[in-house]
A and B are shown apart, each in its own frame.
Chain A
Amino acid sequence: MINDLDSLKSEILKDMDSLSYIEIKQKYLSKTGLLTSMFKGIKDISLEKKLEYGKELNKLKKDLEEKIKEKEIDIKDINLERKIDPTAPFDINTPKDKRPHILDLIGSAHPLMQELEKILDIFQRMGFDILESKQIDDDFHMFESLNFPKGHPARDMYDTFWSDEDFVLPAHTSTMQNRALRRFGPPPIRVVLPGRCFRNEATDASHDHTFYQIEGIYVDEGISMGHMQAVIKEYLEQYLQKDLEIKMQPAYFPFTEPDVELVISCPFCDKVGCSTCGNKGWIELMGCGMIHPNVLTAGGIDPQIYTGFAWGVGLDRLTAIQRGITDIRKLRDGDINFLRQF
């Protein structure tokens, strides 16, 4: 029994350094704590040893309580109105092994950012500039400059958040098109516009009110829908590391004409049908189209001379598919155990 006490003592000694006082209290002195259960064990000890054992135990408890108190004071002291010297490399009276250092933990870059970096890298290799999108914008950039006059019913396609001051939280990265045309013009203009977007819609495993989009625009003389197809296909094949088939299906966006939905052959099942593509063999990936002349004009580009195309692709779903994430809300819930996998 004394043996048991010895091992307990050495464990306490060890823990005093590594555990906080709250944790020590919990481990030893709580209802189910190690020391508490030793006390409970007294009744099973033979009569002659009981006295000595009890004494030892009481002393141990007293010592522990004192040490905890010291520790408590220690910590309180740090957090009292004590002014530190912020120019020093470490705090006063700290032992060498308890000084600040970079801990050996599992670090991670966010999976969305990893994918974003990959995609931006591809576009840079293809000769595109990058301009990041805004998170609060105005009606002109989000709608008017994109050929959505005030009151236009197509505005309803975008469930947009508005601030009290009538600022708008962009529901698509197209909110940057006008700025990009002006900043990178005159053509040729090749630019990708990544950014955070917001939609006022109910969330579920595949929809969130906050998401990432990457807009791209390409304006030059003689640019066609054939170019649009080829550029997007090139990017997707580089990104997914796979040969793809792509289809264009009619869609409607006020800022492009013609406008299409781009559909790719499912890169996971080669059109056989799998859970990712909902057994369709094809995945609807993005909206794109030839930039509407009104949008070019608003951006200071003469549509009589130049044509161009634009697309907008969501990043969250691509990331979820690529990384086997079944609920996209996991991307933003800040769970470190989840993030440490990436």
Chain B
Amino acid sequence: MKLPLTSIKQYVKCNLNLESVLNILSTKVGEVEGYTDLSKMYEGIYVAQILSKEEHPNADKLGVYKINIGQPEDIQVVAGDKTLNVGDKVAYIKPGYVVPYTYGTAKSTKIKAVNMRGITSNGMLCSERELNIGPNHTEVLVLDSQARVGMSFAQYYELNDIVIDIENKALTNRGDLFGILGLAREISAAQNIAFVSPSWYRKEVVDIDIKKEKLPITVVNNASNLCPRYMCVSMDNISIIDSPVWLKSLLIKSNIKPINNIVDITNYLSILTGQPLHAFDYDKLVSKDINGKGDAHITVRTAQEGEKIFTLDGNTIQLHANNLVIADSTNPIAIAGVIGGMDTQIDINTKRIIIESANFNRFSIRKTSMELGIFTEAVTRYTKGQHPYFCLPILLQAISLIQEYAKGTVASNIIDIYPEPLLQKSISLSISKLNIHLGTNLGKEEIKKILTNLEYQISGEDVEYLTLLPPIFRTDIYIPEDIYEDIGRIYGYENILPKLPYRELSATKENKEIKLKSRIRSILSNSGCNELDTYSFTSKDGIYSSNQDPNLAYHIKNSLSPDLEFMRTSILLSHLEKAKINILKNISPFCIYEFNIPHQKGYMDNFQLPKEDWHLCLLFCSKENIINGSSFYQVMRYLEKVLHTLGINSLSYDLISDSSELDLPIWIKNIIPSFNSNQAALIKYVKDGKTTILGVIGNIDEKVKNSYKLPVFTGAFEINLDEILPLVSNNSGSLHKSKYPSITQDICFTLLNSTKYIDLKQSVLKVINTKERFGSIECVDIYQKDNNTKNITLRVSVEHNEKTLTDQEFEKIKEKIEEKTKTFK
């Protein structure tokens, strides 16, 4: 919302400088985005008069002009417009100054004295667009003959002003602040000065005497739920001319281009009050009404699906059934509250008009605007909330201005369809509750003063309560808390003293998942791994490349780009992508990890929302031949480092290609294809006969590695922290340790290739661990001789609880081991 400083001075009865206005706005009203000093924007531009005109000897399209700006010396200027006449007044930019249209932009253009085909041009004569005051950019703007030569253009056009820009978002619920009067009222109240609205603003009855209806209008409102009030009037004898400078100037400051007196007057009242108006050409409306009866007929109705309208911005719009339109007997002539139609546009030949002042449902306007992608000043104002009360006074003021500036005369009754007048409801305000809410100690009189300055009416009071009627222009006040805000900000938030609340000394609940993530984060970052935070979004290609199922991924309907079109089904696929980027940068080896939430369609929680489990993904990648064998074992080291530290030890691994698990959860099924099934496993936790699947680990599938250009040695795991969490034990029991020395010996086993290491391990452990003794093993070597057999060398240590073991006793243990492992050969 643009607010010119001179307008504040016009409506607020006190002396305010820029700084105090900015301060009031930002501390009591809403965020100020910035301000523009127009006198700087128009610096170096003067009213000039043309003294002589000559043809350019070397260019057909250029004219050579001698001008004067009230100084002894005349100035020679070359212009691309040959239609100017001697005596015309024009706007001239001196060399060294910036073209206003480009002011403050990246393409800021500074005028220089230049040679144009052999003739020097000392400056430039400006078009409307170059002056940033209108659309015309082909002709030099000719000023009124009254303009004083040598005057600065800004002074002549009343643009010596500072325009403050207030963030619209901060005013989203304040339709009244989308009018200059509303902002002036706030500034006034902030200084403890009662604001006096102009008398026309509060008129409640029609005070115009209509003698004879020359141009009658009939209006039917078939959508009163979406159009609470519809007013209009026809006017005759209109002469379309340029608006007076003061009016143009105010529009320019509000970033609205002046068009002609009628359109400008409707725009002017809208920026002054927030209430949009629209003007139709009466004759066009009547003549283009294919089923009309020769008079003006207006219907407010919802559109028929597919119905079309040619709008003022030059587009043909196909309407939807719920869009509210203003129509003649048959066809739409405007999209209600959004944009007018080209067919009834006011133009230079318009003689008779209809002015519309209506109120539309803000939700409906928003929906239509979003659906059709049309965003106008009217949409902005209507969607912030306007009160139907103001349709009348503002229509009357429009009539009055049109009478004054376009010589119009009222030619019909003033039509007012307002079946259910909307009244403000009174609100009871508890003074003690107000003070608790704000943390203040305000007295009743102080509160009353603030509220009356904001035009609240006090209809009753006692010691504790005030009964208040909110001002009619406020569409955002429903409950006492809304009034607390008005009091708080006008009183000044800076006057509220910070005070810490007291609380009981109860301990807060521990968030176990956050603690778990924090512990794992510390383990992994201390093990040379780098934590990532990657986007939840991915592309269809990303899902395909990682060999996962795009049908499981949620699709975003309004994604930023096809690269960000799907929600990822695993964290792994983001890591494959990031691994590729780092490998391309020649970083290797590396180990990356991340905690995050992937989503799979069909995996739902109890509330029918996508179930959100936290996953940990880790990916190891090396171009160098640092570690031999399958990458499975390398990532297993990281996994076990994490899980063992958390006290989770009873892990087992089921090779994917041998696994007979059927009832796997979706998130597991989804990531399995990303792995090489002969070198990847389900991670299982088995305790008391109960098995939990924690995730998948292993070497990445060869095809997947290929599509991400990843080296052979790339392995990863993805585990579900929601499964891990219940298994975490904080008290790791101390191991039994005998005071007698242990015997350690390497034993080599020759086994069938198909024998699992874990079976050997468990057999051996069963033998060496008894009530009397404690034994442990370590794998020293696994050597595959041929296709049938392998040698596994175990370092076996045994100690006895009560004595030193003898070699003979150890030999016996070995024999027993030998016997127990015979079946593996």
Q: Do A and B bind each other?
A: yes
Measured CB to CB, the residues of A under 8 A from B are 17-20, 22-23, 71, 75, 78-79, 81-96, 98-110, 112-113, 117, 120, 124, 127-132, 134-138, 151-154, 156-157, 161-165, 167, 169, 188, 190, 196, 198, 200, 202, 209-210, 218, 220, 222-227, 229-231, 233-234, 246-252, 254, 257-261, 284, 290, 292-293, 307, 331-337, 339-340
> B-side binding surface: helix, strand, loop or mixed?
mixed
Cα(A89)–Cα(B169), bound, Å? 60
In chain B, what residue has the closest Cβ to A103?
B528
Listed residue (A88, A113, A220) with the most chain B CB atoms within 10 angstroms of its CB: A88
Q: Which one of B28, B506, B514, B625 lies within 8 Å of A20 (CB-CB)?
A: B625
Across the interface, B782 reaches (CB within 8 A) one of A91, A198, A222, A248, namely A91
* Nearest A residue to B637, CB-CB: A100
Q: Is the CB of B366 within 8 A of A153?
A: yes
Contacts of A127 in B (CB 8 A): 503, 506, 508
List which B518-549 residues lie within 8 A (CB) of chain A: 518, 521-522, 524-537
Taking the closest CB of chain B, its distance from the CB of A133, in whole angstroms, is 10
User: Pick the contact of A224 from B172, B438, B634 — CB < 8 Å?
Assistant: B438
How far, in angstroms, from A164 to B599 measured CA to CA in the complex? Answer: 14
Asked if B587 and A332 sit within 8 Å, CB to CB, the answer is no
Task: Select one of A71, A169, A339 contacting B532, CB under 8 A.
Answer: A339
Contacts of B590 in A (CB 8 A): 105, 336
**In the complex, B428 has a CB within 8 A of chain A:** no
Query: What are the residues of chain A within 8 A of B529 when measuring CB–CB?
Result: 105, 107
The distance from the CB of B565 to the nearest CB of chain A, in whole angstroms, is 11
Residue contact A135 to B585, C-beta cutoff 8 Å? no
Cβ 8 A contact of A251, one of B30, B564, B641? B30
Of the candidates A120, A196, A251, which one forms a contact with B514 in the assembled complex, judged by CB atoms under 8 Å apart? A120
Least CB distance, A262 to chain B, in whole angstroms: 10
Interface pair A88/B782, CB less than 8 Å apart: yes
How far apart sit A254 and B504, CA to CA, in the bound complex (Å)?
31
Whether B498 contacts A336 by the Cβ 8 Å rule is no
CB nearest to B186 among chain A residues: A250
For B481, the closest partner residue in chain A by CB is A257
A–B pairs, 27, beta carbons within 8 Å: A17-B625, A87-B756, A91-B630, A98-B628, A98-B629, A99-B627, A100-B637, A107-B530, A109-B521, A136-B609, A153-B384, A163-B567, A164-B555, A167-B554, A167-B609, A190-B503, A200-B558, A202-B560, A209-B560, A224-B496, A226-B499, A230-B500, A246-B498, A249-B30, A250-B30, A258-B484, A334-B582
Tally inter-chain residue pairs, CB-CB below 8 A: 358
- Tell yes or no: B173 within 8 A of A by CB: yes
In the complex, the answer to whether B439 meets A84 with C-beta atoms within 8 Å is no
* Docked-complex contact A86 and B681, CB < 8 angstroms: yes
Report whether A336 and B530 are in contact in the complex, using a CB–CB cutoff of 8 Å: yes
Give the chain A neighbours of B596 by CB distance below 8 A. 196
B30 touches A258 (CB 8 A): no
Q: Provide the bound-state CA to CA distance between A110 and B517, in Å.
A: 12
Q: Say whether, besides A101-B627, A258-B481, A75 and B712 are in contact (CB < 8 Å).
A: yes
Complex alpha-carbon distance, A190 and B479, angstroms? 25
- Distance A340 CA – B587 CA, assembled complex (angstroms): 12
Interface flag for B211 (CB, 8 Å): no
Closest beta carbon of chain A to B735's beta carbon, Å: 19
Give 7 closest A-B pairs by Cβ, nearest first: A91-B629, A226-B439, A224-B439, A105-B528, A334-B578, A258-B485, A87-B758
Let me know if B633 is at the binding interface, CB within 8 A: yes
Whether the Cβ atoms of B496 and A229 lie closer than 8 Å is: yes
Contacting pair A340 B31 (CB below 8 A): no
The B321-351 residues at the A interface (CB cut-off 8 A) are: none
Q: Are A99 and B628 in contact (CB under 8 A)?
A: yes
B526: which A residues are within 8 A, CB to CB?
A: 107
Partner among A103, A107, A218, A251 whose Cβ is within 8 Å of the Cβ of B524: A107
A231 contacts B627, C-beta separation under 8 Å: no
Is A89 a contact of B779 with CB atoms below 8 Å?
Answer: yes
Measured between beta carbons, the chain B residues less than 8 angstroms from A224 are: 436-440, 496, 499
Binds A, one of B47-55, B214-222, B462-470, B486-494: B486-494
Closest CB in chain B relative to A134 CB, distance in Å: 6
Which one of B191-199, B283-291, B648-656 is at the A interface?
Answer: B648-656
Q: Are A105 and B627 in contact (CB under 8 A)?
A: no
Residues in chain A near residue B21, CB distance under 8 A: none
The answer to whether A209 and B564 touch (CB under 8 A), given A20-B711, A169-B556, A230-B499, is yes
Q: Mark B161-196, 1 if CB is under 8 A from A, else 0.
A: 000000001111110000000000000000000000
Contact partner of B28 among A86, A96, A250, CB < 8 A?
Answer: A250
Segment 499-516 of B: residues with Cβ below 8 Å from A? 499-501, 503-504, 506, 508-509, 511, 513-514
The answer for the CA separation of A223 and B439 in the assembled complex, in Å, is: 8
Known: A135-B612, A222-B436. A335 touches B29 (CB 8 A): no
